[in-house]
Structure 1
Amino acid sequence: MKLPHCSYRCHALLTALIGWLTLSTHSLASEVEHHQFFSPTLGYDYPYSVYLPDNYDAQATDAYPVVYMLHGSFGTDRDWVARGNLQQTADRLIRAGFIPPAVYIMPGSRSWWVDGHNEPARSAFFNDLMPHVEATYHVGQERRLRGVAGLSAGGYGALNFALERPDLFAAVAALSPASYAPLPPRNSSAWRHPAFLDEQGQFDRELWETLNYTAYLEEYRLSVTPRGTEEEGDFSPVPLYISAGRSDVYDAEFHARLLRQAMERIQPNDVRLDLYPGGHTWQVWRASLPAALNFLFQYVGQPNTVAATEETPAQEVSAEESPDEVSG
């Protein structure tokens, strides 16, 4: 029987769709698992999600690089996979040969990744999570094999972790970091987050200023800056990737530029800022994630942590918008 013209067209579209779905399903050979373990620091179970690359081999000769991905304010350990397309993005970049197979750890926290008024999240990360991960998975236990990244409040946390402990991380990525100086904007969730609320339920300004990245800059500078012709810094700088939406309701572009300016005084060739159309949304973070991962793996997993060859200017990249803003 001769099919009408539209049927041929529908048949072709259906065939193409089936092929695309088959290819997409086949391509997601990585695994994402959700786990928890008892944290002595917290006094309760610490949740985390883990991405394991295709053909993950716990007995491989070489350990895998590991990247810690921190969620935003009031987020969960599942956000990067459920909303950030972490699995699809990592799979695609690995298949294309842009980044190596790596393990991604996505921890959950009730805090802003600080030892705040509600929980000692920072201490739990360093004292409990990292040792647990390194004992459970075949990941590197040296600086060159570790990276840290985060969005919004997670960007705040990732930046602080790298500045406080440059001995632990080869690179850091902060997407729309909620690293506001000197104080967060009035519409930021920091003003109502339990991490920064004192016993009277008031925002603790002193705690914010004590824990913000600005408090780490001088000690970080001294640890990574050579002093004299024969004396080197304790560690090489931790290269920093920053992204922000140009219509961010928390004025993230302004604060990202302040952050870049502060960091360029210390490490002028190791800072990159990308600017995207859009707000404080997952569209912006999904759009900037490939660039962030590509940046991280210029350093993470390399034989030695090296500085970028030249400064990369701020870039503008298109990103579609939808109303899914997240507290920052």
Structure 2
Amino acid sequence: MGLTSNNIVIIAVITAVLLFAATIWLWPRLAGRGVTAVLGRVGMLVATQLTVFAAFGLFANQSFGFYGSWSDLFGKEDTPGVVVNHDTPGNGVRVTETRHVKVDGGSSPKVAGRIEKVNIQGPVSKIASSAYIYLPPEYFKPEYAKRKFPAALVLTGYPGTTEALINGLKYPQNAHALAKNGRMQPTILVMMRPTVAPPRDTECVDVPDGPQTETYFTKDLPKAVSAHYRVGREARNWGVIGNSTGGYCALKMAMRHPEAFSAAAGLSPMYKAPIDATTGDLFGGSKQLERENNLMWRLDHKPAPPVSLLVSSSERGEKNYRATMQFVNKVKTLNRRGEPTRISSMILETGGHNFNTWRREVPAALEWMGGRLSDR
């Protein structure tokens, strides 16, 4: 039973409730002063507290996506240790698993679409990472057999788990519902975490003498996915969306590489990369490289790229609200000067930096994204 499954959370909650009830029921019988009674009370209290803690922990993990599996929780996850053999012929995508999408009406690919777990190799960046690819129902229908689809790269925050994009934020289910209701064109989703060189948080930077994460996402990944699936190869066919660190990555990569992505949505994004124990020195001591990865600085000092951007925040509960409004106003000033960058925003009255807030934003962000990508 998977760490993020609903069943294990339900079992943990039921177990905690039953033990709590049993403790209340048995407490009068354990009220004596003998060793047996004392040990019984201690045992009941410890067992109840452990089950309550486990229930809250499992629920929090499912909501926030801290760990994707039991092996990940206990530090035994070895998936990142994929060895890339760059002499191996192929297009860079290897399917390792398929799974159904849970929607009303059935689970066949022509009804619900399909999720494929893949390894994506990057010959230029020399990075390999796993991803989940959501293929919409139309991908499997005969009338769409010759059609190419738009694609959106979907990124978690740091550390994040890719499973959280499926089970927590429900990107495939939202995309399916929006397309079914005619509010979004059928779109392929490439769901990943930005941590492609774990445990380091590279903030999607090409680190000098380190992981070439930006190259992986902007060059290797679109080329590999377009070669393996029926996805367009041009920037107008590709968008990128993410939350928190993934939101910063999304905005930055579109602004720095408009030849790769034409639209980007940042949910609760930062606007510059932090430097801390998880990142290390991202810029090799180069102040110029650091500035070039600062989105506010880019708006003031670099040519405005021909991309569409969406940012989100909350008036109460998000620390990035002022920075988000500053970013929006800077782009609006560029618009008035006739520059090609376009900006949209989604500002909630209240909402913290958490999955509950992002769940409220994902449907609208996907609909926005779908309206800006082309299948031509």
- Identify whether the pair has TM-score above 0.5, normalized to the shorter chain: yes
CA shift digits 1:232-279 (9 cap, x unpaired):
xxxxx3121111133445x11111111111211223593221112211
The one-letter amino acid of 1:177's match is P
Deviation at 1:74, TM superposition (A): 1.3
1:108–1:192 distance in 2 versus 1, CA, 3 Å: same
Secondary structure, counterpart of 2:347 in structure 1 = strand
Select 2:168's aligned residue among 83, 92, 112.
Answer: 83
CA contact (8 A) 2:270 2:320 kept: yes
Select 1:192's aligned residue among 252, 274, 277.
Answer: 277
Deviation at 1:25, TM superposition (A): 5.0
The whole-number CA distance in structure 1 between the counterparts of 2:315 and 2:276 is 23
The whole-number CA distance in structure 2 between the counterparts of 1:32 and 1:197 is 33
> Counterparts of 1:80-229 in structure 2 under 5 Å?
80-110=165-195, 111-116=202-207, 119-180=211-272, 190-194=275-279, 196=281, 208-217=290-299, 218-221=301-304, 224=305
The whole-number CA distance in structure 2 between the counterparts of 1:41 and 1:77 is 23
Q: Percent identity?
A: 26
Secondary structure, counterpart of 1:56 in structure 2 = helix
Select 2:312's aligned residue among 236, 243, 268.
Answer: 243
Q: Name the counterpart of 1:318.
A: none
1:253–1:22 distance in 2 versus 1, CA, 3 Å: closer
Q: Name the counterpart of 1:23.
A: 104
Secondary structure, counterpart of 2:335 in structure 1 = coil
**What's the TM-score, normalizing by structure 2?**
0.61
The whole-number CA distance in structure 2 between the counterparts of 1:34 and 1:195 is 30
Q: Name the counterpart of 2:366.
A: 293
Q: Name the counterpart of 2:130.
A: 47
1:73–1:62 distance in 2 versus 1, CA, 3 Å: same
The one-letter amino acid of 2:206's match is D
Q: Name the counterpart of 1:263.
A: 331
Deviation at 1:302, TM superposition (A): 6.9
Give the unaligned 5+ runs of structure 1.
1-20, 185-189, 225-236, 304-328
Give the unaligned 5+ runs of structure 2.
1-101, 196-201
The whole-number CA distance in structure 1 between the counterparts of 2:204 and 2:361 is 22
Larger radius of gyration: 2
CA contact (8 A) 1:148 1:169 kept: yes
The whole-number CA distance in structure 2 between the counterparts of 1:138 and 1:207 is 35
The whole-number CA distance in structure 2 between the counterparts of 1:198 and 1:168 is 22
The whole-number CA distance in structure 1 between the counterparts of 2:322 and 2:345 is 12
The whole-number CA distance in structure 2 between the counterparts of 1:204 and 1:72 is 25
1:75–1:116 distance in 2 versus 1, CA, 3 Å: farther
Secondary structure, counterpart of 1:167 in structure 2 = coil
Give the total of aligned pairs: 258
Secondary structure, counterpart of 2:139 in structure 1 = coil
Q: Which has the higher contact order (CA 8 A, sep 6+)?
A: 1
**What's the TM-score, normalizing by structure 1?**
0.69
CA shift digits 1:102-144 (9 cap, x unpaired):
1011233322111136521101112321111111110011222
More helix by share: 2
CA contact (8 A) 1:148 1:158 kept: yes
RMSD: 2.9
CA contact (8 A) 2:240 2:264 kept: yes
1:298–1:78 distance in 2 versus 1, CA, 3 Å: same
CA contact (8 A) 1:170 1:239 kept: yes
